[in-house]
Structure 1
């Protein structure tokens, strides 16, 4: 791993390699691997890429072609070796060189003061310097390096034995395949850490699962743990895992030389690891001279925990001196030189009162748990989706159970488990219906799916849910036409289907309760305005199974007119970005159904836009913002966010989901949080107010 001072040289190497190098094969390979590894470190650890995407992809392709031509020169730490064929059905158990112990927990300032007192009394030290770092809410791992190369990655397991998951660990690009350990005369090294999924990545992944009709993953911690044990490393690579390494548990030096100066303290060790390419917690760590300083820091950090891009559930306090750590020692359960301060719980117990079965717009039957309302993380929770029948069975839920409920950050509340030991015999089995609770048609479970479905497309519940989805903010955005009004109009026979929205007899609305002349006029204006929504919003509003907002944009940009998809095959659809066989099959079936084409014809006659105006006008490729990337954060007042994003795309700009070196502009509204702080740290992102964004659009 090259250090930051080598960046200029590596940039020159990259330019030379992109042109075509005259160097010998081995030198080319060394240069390519160095440039790619360095760029990975800058991007995945420091959030600041050196190379443009096209440059990176070109160099990676060159490396693969060169290695394919010279397979005898392939090395285990080459960037191409992150991709593996797969794991066997049975994970191999491996022993940790040093047991992975648990941490003693504390929940208040007095616990920390008592621990500090024990440390000072045991060590006979009057003052002790401590380090404080986040306690990451992920999955524990252990990495073993030898002769500068990553040899093995393992799960925590039972603390003594873990599972060998080396191929999966190699998919995590914040974990270097090689590191310059030998520069400090380190011959072997075992490092402990946590695998996490960033909040934005987790949110986007769950949105994709929901669009595909799958139950969202419960929380980032479970998602990270489950991903590490997947049998296909290619699937692991898709999850966007990151790793933070926070402890050196074991090391040996070359020829038994003395430990390097950088490994005299815990902070120094993690700072050294960060500088040679590992993602360590140093950016969020603090060294404290007294326990009162520790307490102030952890209490302040708890107030800002949601500003971090990942979940944490507390802080870890450690004795900084490694020599003093050795003197303090450990019990069979935990080290005496470290303690975890746990933040206030985002869990609570409640009683499961009943389960209601709701029919979604695609006919899926979703069981919803109704619990005694309980406050969790600042929100009162009374309803929790159970997703499907399998979840009920897996968690062994019964009516009347005392259940443990969790809500992490902005993640959907979910039931962690039931407590069978608290049952008194009055609990009742949850009986999943065999017929639709609304239209009474027999339910059907497609092969390979977990959800039962009502396949009656005329089912009243589905019709209403499709109407609600079509008019929603992220689809056609018809103001004044929310859930209650849609249900009311449907029950009265005023609106029976999507096309019916645009055929409303406004005279019928006069005299309706809560519908005065002004309300009727507002609704009329909103419905007329929705006819001008861009094609991607209409596609999303149609509710095609598995098609979310991002896929809708991909589809809209692929055609001149929506009905062009009538002639597309599944194979052609699969060539579009991020569209696989499942999504392609659903889209194909939608456009082969005569009733759907009839609806599209009717909507076009009624004045809706079925053409891709951007493609037709050529605005996107040659737009004023072409080649520029944008992200919005905070509460906007001058613009509605969806409108602002549409203005960017109309002018050829591209929207990103997170702050990175690829981002050109961050537009901030009120109460901007972690995205703004990250952009400031990067130093390469231009931060604009709403007014400045408006000026940019006018320019």
Structure 2
């Protein structure tokens, strides 16, 4: 049984890893709701066990804002700290916040509160000097952020020169970069048609767009900016309220929210919260709650800030929308790495304008935890308004479970009939067939020769499937052995296209190390981490012999990724494959 100290350490590691994926790579592994729940658990444990805390400021994510900066973007130091917000998930949480501000300020009379929308985007700081845009900086770790100035300049709602009067000489405007729902759908539709990267939600799309190397791509994404405050550097603030500050920003030519209201009691806040919750579906951008701020600047200064967030503001978040439907069946899918994922087939329902009929059940443990059976009525929610998830089974006197059937997890792979093995206590099961499994083979080859890997034009999923059907290829190495006589007998492949494909294959033999690492398909290793490994080791042979302590030195690689890398290169089959591959390719700098 884990001790309290072990629980705290494990929670910290998890949160640091998930924060890195979310803030730095724009590739969240869990929903905002699940992340917030982990943070809440950690805060409660740390509060109750202060004697166990490590006396270092950045040893816990509860003391840190944001995450590690992107390794390829230059950094800029914020002139004033860019803090995050504390969260309230229900009325009780919010009332605790109100009680605290009255207690800390010592004020007996009603404190006026300014309520705004919490736009689901990427926090950005705009530094203006003498009214001209000098830098656009992401939040980063709250002290140092990423320089995305060139891309931010393509956002039409960010003026390069401020208008109006009384503009402070040095000014930091704070706000959110986001993407409208229509633009997000349009972008993903285009990406799907051209087999490019799809984003899971508009927040990731906005973050990814702002971090592009090519500013023309950012310009095409139609990003928006909405300000929520500012700081004057080396000057005097003459505004007396937060609302006054917002109106100044608007007069200087930067958009603010049109849904801001003043409240004088918790009941008025709850009324505003419920109104926005019911009308958010009508907004043309995504929000995940409201932000409540003390309106008086004098009281804000009196309350001050913690190391992580201002004590005078809180994010009051929405709960996920939930609906009840019936579980019709469970199918089992085989992923690129062999992982067996149970997929719930549901009687279709609609949540927040999205039709849901399939939901991932993750693994055996998740099914056992919910107590799920085929035929059950279940509660489904879109966690964080993005990922559909089964929350629980409806068990009441009005709903019979007499016709429900137990979910039988297969012993053999549904595709290749190889033995299914369980590698961890987490409940994840894997097909042992490797490249012999058609599902793994197809997906691995698609990944290996994709745009971010070997990038062979003409070798898309359709061509790969043809080559597999003719038994020409079963591993990536086989592609480099293809002959013209094999290609020309394939359906819809003429002499010209066959020659072009062989030229492309020859061109791809010269590949950068980071592309090779990405192509290998190590679990959890995406484009950014592949570049990290490439920059640090600069040699595939060094990476193949890597030890855990080597990986711990690399900022941006946590314990889970490190373990995945070690396991991959400790597998004799993988080592044999790479050595064989190196006979057909040449790694370039």
Shorter-chain-normalised TM-score: which range? 0.5 to 0.7
Equivalent residue number for residue 429 of structure 2? 452
Structure 1 residues 224-272: Cα deviation after superposition (integer angstroms, max 9, x where no partner)? 1232213577564489494247752366689x98758xx5422399x99
User: Any idea what SS the aligned residue of 1:469 has?
Assistant: helix
Q: What SS does the aligned partner of 1:353 have?
A: strand
User: Are 2:403 and 1:426 equivalent residues in the alignment?
Assistant: yes
Please name the residue that 1:509 is paired with. 487
Counterpart pick for 1:266 among 103, 110, 113: 113
Contact 2:518 2:525 in 1 (8 A): yes
Q: CA deviation at 1:555?
A: 1.2
CA contact (8 A) 1:205 1:239 kept: no
Match of 2:419 in 1: 442
Q: Distance in 1 between matches of 2:362 and 2:576?
A: 33
Describe the shift of the 1:408–1:528 C-alpha distance in structure 2 as closer, same or farther (beyond 3 A): farther
Cα 1:518–1:298, aligned 2, differ >3 Å: closer, same or farther? farther
- Give the whole-Å Cα distance in 2 for the aligned partners of 1:532 and 1:410: 43
Counterpart mapping for 1:609-628 below 5 A: 609-611=586-588, 613=589
Question: Can you list the C-alpha shifts for 1:310-354, whole angstroms capped at 9, x where unaligned?
Answer: x23x7999999xxxxxxxxxxxxxxxxxxx9989x8554433222
Structure 2: state its 5+ residue gaps.
47-52, 54-58, 68-83, 88-93, 117-227, 247-255, 297-315
Q: In 1, distance between residues paired with 2:493 and 2:447?
A: 22
Matches within 5 A, 1:56-205: 201=22, 204=25
Q: Pick one of 385, 388, 393 that aligns with 2:360.
A: 385
Pairs aligned (count):
384
Relative to structure 1, is the Cα distance of residues 579 and 264 closer, same or farther in structure 2, using a 3 angstrom cutoff?
A: closer
Task: Choose from 85, 90, 98 the match for 1:243.
Answer: 85
Which digits, 9 at most, give the CA deviation of each residue in 1:473-492, with x for residues without a partner? 44333344333442332232
> SS of 2:99's equivalent?
strand
Relative contact order (C-alpha < 8 Å, sep 6+): which is higher?
2
Structure 2 distance, partners of 1:558, 1:198, is 22
User: Which digits, 9 at most, give the CA deviation of each residue in 1:444-492, with x for residues without a partner?
Assistant: 2234442122334353233333212212344333344333442332232
1:401 aligns with 2:376: yes
How many Å separate the matches in 2 of 1:482 and 1:306? 34
2:511 & 2:108 partners in 1: Cα distance? 66
Question: Which position in structure 2 is the counterpart of 1:51?
Answer: none
- Partners of 2:571 and 2:6 lie apart in 1 by 41
State the superposition RMSD in angstroms. 5.0
Q: Distance in 2 between matches of 1:375 and 1:522?
A: 46
Structure 1 residues 198 and 542: alpha-carbon distance in aligned structure 2, compared to 1, 3 A threshold = closer
1:221 CA displacement: 1.6
Alignment partner of 1:286 is 2:269: no
Which entry has the higher C-alpha Rg, 1 or 2? 1
Counterpart among 32, 35, 41 of residue 223 in structure 1: 35
The CA distance in 1 between the partners of 2:558 and 2:580, in whole Å, is 30
CA–CA distance in 1 between the matches of 2:115 and 2:481?
A: 71
Distance in 1 between residues matched to 2:372 and 2:460, nearest whole Å: 34
The change in CA–CA distance for 1:565 and 1:418 in structure 2 (over 3 A counts) is same
Aligned-partner Cα distance in 1 for 2:548–2:107: 64
Assess if the C-alpha contact under 8 Å between 1:306 and 1:409 holds in 2.
no
Match in the other structure for 2:188: none
Distance 1:480 1:391, change over 3 A: farther
Q: 2:450 aligns with which of 472, 475, 492?
A: 472
Alpha-carbon spacing, 1:594–1:264, altered in 2? closer, same or farther (3 Å): closer
Distance 1:299 1:590, change over 3 A: closer
> Which of residues 539, 542, 563 in structure 1 aligns to 2:520?
542
- Cα displacement (A) at 1:495: 1.2
Corresponding residue of 2:582: 604
CA contact (8 A) 1:535 1:610 kept: yes
Which stretches in structure 1 are left out of the alignment for 5+ residues? 1-85, 91-164, 174-196, 208-215, 321-339, 614-699
- Report SS of the residue matched to 1:229: helix
* Contact residue 363 and residue 427 of structure 2 kept, 8 A: yes
CA contact (8 A) 2:115 2:291 kept: no
Is contact 1:354-1:371 (8 Å) kept? yes
Alpha-carbon distance between aligned partners in 1 of 2:500 and 2:358, rounded to the nearest angstrom:
33
Matches within 5 A, 1:330-349: 347-349=322-324
> 1:363/1:267 Cα in 2 relative to 1: closer, same or farther (>3 Å)?
closer
